[in-house]
Amino acid sequence: MKPVSASILMAIVFGCMVAFGADRATATAPDKDGLDNLIHSLQYGESSGSTAQDDPSAETISDSSQDTFAFSDVTVPHAHLTWQLSDAQCMEILNKADIKTHPPAFATPFVKTPLLLDSDIEGVIIDSKWPQKQMRRVMDCRLIVSLIQLARRARQAGVVKIEYYSTWRPITVASDCPDGVRGLRCRQTFERAQAGKLPSQHSRATAIDMRWFTFEDGSVVDVLEHYEMNFHEPPCDDHPITREGQFLQQLACDLHGDRVFNVMLTPNADRDHVNHFHFDITPNVTWYILR
């Protein structure tokens, strides 16, 4: 295995100076009564949290099946450490994983390091269901880093393609807002975004809403059709009976354990998520939520 570069190690070690314990990673999450409000705020309003800290003993994701699928030897940090990566460190990880990207030719306000994917990730194609709509495909570099572990988990199960609704949801700049009441709301949203109060992690292109998983044999697992919902119950306590339902539950629960996304919402979360998984990186928090 190739040695990890000093710059990546420095980024990981810097974020790991205070022990946080992976088994206790949700200790600072909101209490049960406030969780529904948090889910709504993560989708439609600004989230908040404490300074990122983690357990040095669990700083990267190990993968025992790398030889089987010839996965890259890059390490995937926990989500709050991924958020702290500089542009250079983030791009170095993508280069080591042989992930090809290019910057979009259009403006992407409020996205730190906007990129468009030009290659698979660890043998899995991850793309919009409507690839011709380029804005749907913009991802911050840090989201792509987290997708490395998603691709590994999915590929181990036989997935070769993942299709999503969207990643980036742009905020209209004030100069492009229409007249009237709609325009006033549009300008107010832009002003709040300028103050750091972005509507959701989609506005940063650090979130992905995925629905379709295509396997080597051509079969497709559809979150809307195959996820066995149990509203408002912890997904990992469910007992799906179909192969498709078991795959979807296992993928979500494994990735929650990997800590590569701060927020993971399944159809169990609420009516807004019955047809997709929402996974995101939330800035400056130390909690990890699966609903």
pLDDT of residue 229: 95
- Contact between 172 and 225 (Cβ < 8 Å): no
- Specify burial of residue 92 (Cβ count, 10 A radius: 0-12, 13-18, 19+): middle
pLDDT of residue 208: 98
**How far is 262 from 207, CA to CA, in rounded Å?**
10
Angle between helices 243-258 and 141-156 (to 10 degrees): 130
What ranges make up the beta strands (E) of 77-128?
101-102, 114-117, 125-128
Q: Among all chains, which residue has been given the structure tokens 């919402």? A: 265
Q: Are strands 263-265 and 125-128 parallel, antiparallel or unpaired?
A: unpaired
Residue 215 to residues 73, 166, 257, Cα–Cα distance (Å): 24, 21, 23
pLDDT of residue 36: 55
Residue-by-residue pLDDT tens, the chain, 291 positions: 444 444 444 444 344 333 333 333 333 444 444 455 555 555 444 433 333 334 333 344 434 333 356 899 999 999 999 999 999 999 999 999 999 999 999 999 999 999 999 999 999 999 999 987 888 899 999 999 999 999 999 999 999 999 999 999 887 677 878 888 888 887 777 787 777 777 689 999 999 999 999 999 999 999 999 999 999 999 999 999 999 999 999 999 999 999 999 999 999 999 999 999 999 999 999 999 999
What ranges make up the beta strands (E) of the chain?
101-102, 114-117, 125-128, 139-140, 159-166, 207-215, 220-222, 263-265, 277-280, 289-290
pLDDT of residue 282: 94
Distance of CA 198 to the CA centre of its chain: 17
pLDDT of residue 35: 55
All structural domains of the chain with their residue ranges: 6-290
Q: What angle do CA 130, 135, 256 make, to 5 degrees?
A: 80
- Contact between 202 and 230 (Cβ < 8 Å): no
